Amino acid sequence: MSEEILINVTPRETRLALIENGLLQEIFLERRSRSGFVGDIYLGKVVRVMPGMEAAFVDIGLERAAFLHNADIAPIGADGLEVREEHPVAIQAHLHEGQMIVVQVAKDPIGTKGARLTTHLTLPSRHLVYLPRNRHIGISQRLESEEERERLQQVLHACIAEEHGDESEPRGGFIIRTAAEGATESELREDIRFLYKLWAAVERRIGRSKEVRVLYRDLPLYLRAVRDLIAPNIEKIRIDTQEAFDEIREFINDFMPEYRDRVELYRGERPIFDLYGIDDEIEKALGRQVRLKSGGDLIIDQTEAMTTIDVNTGGYLGSRNHAETVLKTNLEAATAIARQLRIRNLGGIIILDFIDMEDPEHQRQVLRTLTKALEKDHARTMVTAISELGLVEMTRKRTRESLGQVLCSPCPVCEGRGRIKTAETICYEIFREIVRVARVYENDELLVMASQTVVDRLLDEESSTLADLEVITGKTIRFEVEPMYTQEQYDVVLY
């Protein structure tokens, strides 16, 4: 399986595509005016404490106040480390309005919700995640080899002991990342030193600061991608900008020189995303329907509470019996669903409505295929068995906005409903408004201002109704087309 990373950098936007066997698997976007905040550390100010919700709102300098729940607050002891509380404590014991507090963004602002915060601070590097206020030593669950897990933990403990020398207690804790598989002792030692220096710089900023400010900002998208995504199966990283290419090459020389030869500055005449038709894939990912090769399709609807995905056979009739047709469509859909979740970055609760299968073995095959396809996902997922209603419930960790939320805004015509009232419906609304106005005012004429489509229908299909209405109200009704009106807009005014 060959994978490739394409990076497109412009003055205001960075786009990154993860390609697997020539197909887009994930797309990452970062805009200067609307950048991601996950991982950034702030000195914030508590603006409101809400005991009923066991939470507080904290001003960290963003457009909306951020949300901090009591469960995400860790009291700090005299030694600067987190203190575990034996019994839950009310949020008023932790925070008060006007208090300055060091927090980290755990989730980006999504829709109308502010950012989600935590006081459990973490600093990532290539192989490790540093916990400056915790002595916990952990390891990624994605590292499956017990032998490798044990080796890495032994190496890490040795490196920490070497760095601290005679100190009785190490400074903070660490989590070994999945990317650390195969890492050497010297690589882990370099990461530890880098993270200690980074935290020391953050502490200096905390000591000097008295106002709301950023204490630490995560790396730009293209460097985060190199840090988090590069692995032995990544054959090439192509960047279309000299400045970003130089930064990435310097970063790789410092932290992962074995991948130096895989970084390439793209100088082609075609835009880099045209190599694999990435822009076309993004456009498709903004639509509801995803066509399958077999002729079936997926219908994807994203709501505030959850995302639903419906599988249809469409035009696929199959060459055998009905059960085999359904199985083939569902198997193809399972793989396509896993890919669409990554491309669209859909998170939260997801309901999958596969075509009904009576054979339990067919159901197991579809679930195995879905679970296998989701193993490649960098976001954590959980899948349940097929329910009595034939639905699969799953969750996917959501830390940033979906592709549709980043690239789109609610339609000003339908206001996000996805539908507008028909011209016929608007005509009947106008009739009711005419009756209301006629009963209140004594003038002889009324003027109806509406869109071209609505006026055409009033003068054509609804002309007899209008004639009856003029008789009932005793008023003359005139019409005027307003080019700037949408189909749902109209006014009935005195003339």
> Tens of pLDDT along 372-430?
999 888 888 999 999 888 899 999 988 778 898 888 888 888 877 788 999 999 999 99
The model's pLDDT over 479-491, given as tens digits with 9 standing for 90+, comes to 999 999 999 999 9
Q: Would you state the pLDDT for residue 320?
A: 63
Model confidence at 7, pLDDT cuts 50, 70, 90, reads very high
Q: Are 17 and 27 in contact (CB under 8 A)?
A: yes
Model confidence at 33, pLDDT cuts 50, 70, 90, reads low
Q: Is the pLDDT of residue 71 over 70?
A: yes
User: What is the model's pTM?
Assistant: 0.74
Please provide residue 18's backbone torsions phi and psi, each rounded to the nearest 5 degrees: -100, 120
- Categorise residue 85: left if φ over 0, alpha if ψ from -120 to 50, beta otherwise: beta
The model's pLDDT over 121-179, given as tens digits with 9 standing for 90+, comes to 999 988 899 999 888 889 988 888 889 999 999 999 888 888 776 555 557 889 999 88
Q: Would you state the pLDDT for residue 319?
A: 56
CB atoms closer than 10 angstroms to residue 388: 5
Q: Would you state the pLDDT for residue 134?
A: 87
DSSP state of 180: G
**CA distance linking residue 187 with residue 478, whole number of Å:** 81
The model's pLDDT over 188-211, given as tens digits with 9 standing for 90+, comes to 888 888 888 888 889 898 888 889
Q: What is the mean pLDDT of residues 344-368?
A: 93
**CA distance linking residue 135 with residue 137, whole number of Å:** 7
Q: Is the pLDDT of residue 271 over 90?
A: yes
Q: Would you state the pLDDT for residue 413?
A: 82
Q: Would you state the pLDDT for residue 256?
A: 77
Helices (H), 107-168: 146-164
> Which residues, at least 6 apart from 439, have a Cβ–Cβ distance to it below 8 Å?
none
Cα–Cα distances (Å) from 469 to 161, 423, 437, 452, in that order, read 91, 18, 12, 21
**CA distance linking residue 475 with residue 89, whole number of Å:** 71
> Which residues, at least 6 apart from 477, have a Cβ–Cβ distance to it below 8 Å?
434, 445, 446, 447, 448, 466, 469, 470
Helix axes 146-164, 185-208, angle to 10 degrees: 50
Q: What is the mean pLDDT of residues 447-453?
A: 95
Model confidence at 75, pLDDT cuts 50, 70, 90, reads confident
Model confidence at 120, pLDDT cuts 50, 70, 90, reads very high
**CA distance linking residue 334 with residue 332, whole number of Å:** 6
Q: Are 58 and 45 in contact (CB under 8 A)?
A: yes
Q: What is the mean pLDDT of residues 315-340?
A: 83
- With b for 16 or more beta-carbon neighbours within 10 A and e for fewer, the 220-255 pattern comes to ebbbbbbbebbeeebeebbbbbeebbebbbebbeeb
Model confidence at 285, pLDDT cuts 50, 70, 90, reads very high
Q: What is the mean pLDDT of residues 455-467?
A: 92
Question: Counting beta carbons within 10 angstroms of the beta carbon of residue 20, is it exposed (0 to 12), middle (13 to 18) or buried (19 or more)?
Answer: middle
Q: Is the pLDDT of residue 335 over 90?
A: yes
Averaged confidence pLDDT in the chain: 88
